[in-house]
Structure 1
Amino acid sequence: MNDLGHRFTADSVGRALDLVGERWSLLILRETFFGVRRYGEFARNLSIPRPTLSARLKTLVDAGVLERVDPVPEYVLTRAGRDLFGAVVTLMQWGDRHLAGPDGPSILLRHKDCGEIAESYVACRHCGGEIATDRVTPEPGPAYVSEVDG
Structure 2
Amino acid sequence: MPRTAMRAPDPGWTDADCPVARTLDLVGDRWSLLVIRDAMDGARSFTEFQRRTGIARNILTDRLRKLTAHGLLTQRTAPSGRRQEYVLTDAGRNLFPVILTLRQWGERHAFAPGEAHSTLVDQHGAPVPEIVPTSTDGALLDADTTHVQKVR
Instruction: Tell me the TM-score range normalised by the shorter chain.
Output: 0.7 to 0.9
60, 66, 87: which one pairs with 2:67?
60
107, 123, 146: which one pairs with 1:96?
107
TM-score by length of 1: 0.79
Q: How many residue pairs were aligned? A: 134
TM-score by length of 2: 0.78
- What's the secondary structure of 1:15's corresponding residue? helix
Query: Are 1:131 and 2:138 counterparts?
Result: no
5+ residue gaps, structure 1, are 1-7, 146-150
Note the aligned Cα RMSD (angstroms): 2.0
Aligned to 1:5: none
- What's the secondary structure of 1:68's corresponding residue? strand
Aligned-partner residue type, residue 127 of structure 2: I
- What's the secondary structure of 1:104's corresponding residue? coil
- What's the secondary structure of 1:134's corresponding residue? coil
Shift in CA distance, 105/29, structure 1 to aligned 2, threshold 3 Å = farther
Q: Deviations over 1:89-139 (max 9, x none)?
A: 1111111100113443521122337x5311332434744443311232332
Task: Tell me, in whole angstroms, the C-alpha distance in 2 between the residues paired with 1:68 and 1:128.
Answer: 40
CA contact (8 A) 1:68 1:75 kept: yes
Aligned to 2:46: 39
Task: Tell me, in whole angstroms, the C-alpha distance in 2 between the residues paired with 1:79 and 1:135.
Answer: 30
Aligned to 1:119: 129
Higher relative contact order (CA 8 A, sep 6+): 1
Shift in CA distance, 127/112, structure 1 to aligned 2, threshold 3 Å = farther
Shift in CA distance, 35/13, structure 1 to aligned 2, threshold 3 Å = same
CA contact (8 A) 2:44 2:86 kept: yes
88, 96, 109: which one pairs with 1:77?
88
The higher radius of gyration belongs to 1
CA contact (8 A) 2:101 2:131 kept: yes
Task: Tell me, in whole angstroms, the C-alpha distance in 1 between the residues paired with 2:149 and 2:18.
Answer: 13
The structure that is helix-richer by fraction is 1
5+ residue gaps, structure 2, are 1-14
Runs of 4+ aligned structure 1 residues displaced above 4 Å come to none
Task: Tell me, in whole angstroms, the C-alpha distance in 2 between the residues paired with 1:122 and 1:137.
Answer: 17
Aligned-partner residue type, residue 99 of structure 1: A
